[in-house]
Structure 1
Amino acid sequence: MATPAFEEIAETFDFLEDWEERYRHVIELGKAMPAMDPALQVPATKVDGCASQVWIMPLIEGGRFDFQGDSDALIVRGLVAILHALYSGVPLAEVGAVDAPAELGRLGLQEHLSAQRSNGLRAMVERIRLLAATA
Structure 2
Amino acid sequence: MSLPATAQTALQAFSACPGWEQRARLLMQWGDQLVPLSDAERIEANRVQGCESQVWLLAERDGAHWQFRTSSDARLLRGLLALLLARVNGLPASELAQLDLPDWFAQLGLARHLSPSRSNGLQAVLTRMQHLLDANDQGAARH
For the superposition of Structure 1 and Structure 2, which TM-score range results when normalised by the shorter chain? over 0.9
CA apart distance, 1:91: 1.4
The answer on 1:123 being equivalent to 2:114 is no
SS at match of 1:40: coil
Gapped runs of 5+ residues in structure 1?
A: none
Gapped runs of 5+ residues in structure 2?
A: 137-143
The equivalences for 1:43-62 within 5 A come to 43-62=44-63
Structure 1 runs of 4+ aligned residues shifted over 6 Å read none
Q: Could you tell me the TM-score, scaled by structure 2's length? A: 0.88
Structure number with larger C-alpha Rg: 2
**Matches of 2:67 and 2:113 in 1, distance apart?**
27
CA 1:33–1:47: 2 relative to 1, 3 Å = same
Residue 49 of structure 1 aligns with an amino acid whose one-letter code is: G
Structure 2 equivalent of residue 134 of structure 1: 135
Q: Could you tell me the TM-score, scaled by structure 1's length? A: 0.93
Percent identical among aligned pairs is 33
**Matches of 2:59 and 2:133 in 1, distance apart?**
8
Structure 1 equivalent of residue 139 of structure 2: none
The equivalences for 1:1-135 within 5 A come to 1-135=2-136
**Matches of 2:59 and 2:82 in 1, distance apart?**
14
Superposed CA RMSD: 1.3
CA apart distance, 1:34: 1.1
SS at match of 2:131: helix
Length, aligned pairs only: 135
